[in-house]
Structure 1
Amino acid sequence: MVAEDISGEWVAIVNYGIMGIIQLGLPSTTVVDIDNTKALALYDSTVGVIRSLLSAKNHDYGEAWRDMRPSSYTDMVLTKIQRTKCIENNNGKTVASEGIDANYMDMVNYAVFALIKLTLENS
């Protein structure tokens, strides 16, 4: 049995969240295959938007994430997944909630916080 580092799971959440946001921004008729240059441009652009959100929320909440336990990041991601499923089940309509893209961005940011925390703990 090969021991796997949990950080790989958080990296996967970051990447899948970014891919989900990119897919939400593409027309539904878009062919799945896009060239590497366009894919990288979309990825970098999406990362820029998410990074800005992370910075704004970090400023608003005073780096509260630093006091959170790793299990709290997991709980927050699971909550965002549940919200996303509810929005999808409601055909994208929301009453008092943010859209699917905002939930993906939050999942990415929680995963980034977890990765930072893991890096700090292991150094």
Structure 2
Amino acid sequence: KNIYNYYDLYTKKAKFLMIKKNFDYEEAWKIMELSSMKDIILQKLFRIQNMEKNFLNIKNFYEKIYDNYIDILNYSIFILMKIEK
């Protein structure tokens, strides 16, 4: 696969997850402050770093890392949408 295939694959997965979570959380991102979203992104980055340090002890390591990166992508898009207004 080339980079464009991967980009399409991961953005489709991120969009699917965003739609699901957006429904579950009733579009909570719309009322969140930008600083709160940035804090969530930082929290997820710290979680990823911690998991990488302890990957041998973490069940489903790859899936957990993947989920956090997808969440970071989606929060980044929410931030871009909010600052565009």
Q: When the two structures are superposed, what TM-score results if normalisation uses the length of structure 2? A: 0.89
SS at match of 1:57: helix
Q: 2:25 aligns with which of 61, 77, 91?
A: 61
The structure that is helix-richer by fraction is 2
Q: Distance in 1 between matches of 2:79 and 2:48?
A: 20
Query: Corresponding residue for 1:119?
Result: 84
* Alpha-carbon separation, structure 2, partners of 1:93 and 1:68: 34
Q: Secondary structure in 2 aligned to 1:49? A: helix
Which structure carries more relative contact order (alpha carbon 8 Å, separation 6+)?
1
* Aligned-partner SS, 2:55: coil
Question: Per-residue CA shift, 1:48-73, capped at 9, x if unaligned?
Answer: 00000001000000000000001001
TM-score (norm 1): 0.63
SS at match of 1:62: coil
Q: Could you say if the C-alpha distance between residues 60 and 92 of structure 1 is closer, same or farther in structure 2, counting changes exceeding 3 Å?
A: farther
Which amino acid is the alignment partner of residue 104 of structure 1? Y
Q: How does 1:60-99 map to 2 (within 5 A)?
A: 60-91=24-55, 93-94=57-58, 99=64
Where 2:2 maps in the other structure, the secondary structure is helix
Aligned residues: 83
Q: Percent identity?
A: 35
Asked if the contact 1:50–1:109 (Cα under 8 Å) also holds between the matched residues in 2, the reply is: yes
Q: Where in structure 2 are there 5+ consecutive unaligned residues?
A: none
Unmatched runs of 5 consecutive residues or more in structure 1: 1-36
- Tell me which structure has the larger Cα radius of gyration: 1
Q: Distance in 1 between matches of 2:47 and 2:56?
A: 11
Any runs of at least 4 consecutive aligned residues in structure 1 with deviations exceeding 4 A, and if so which? none
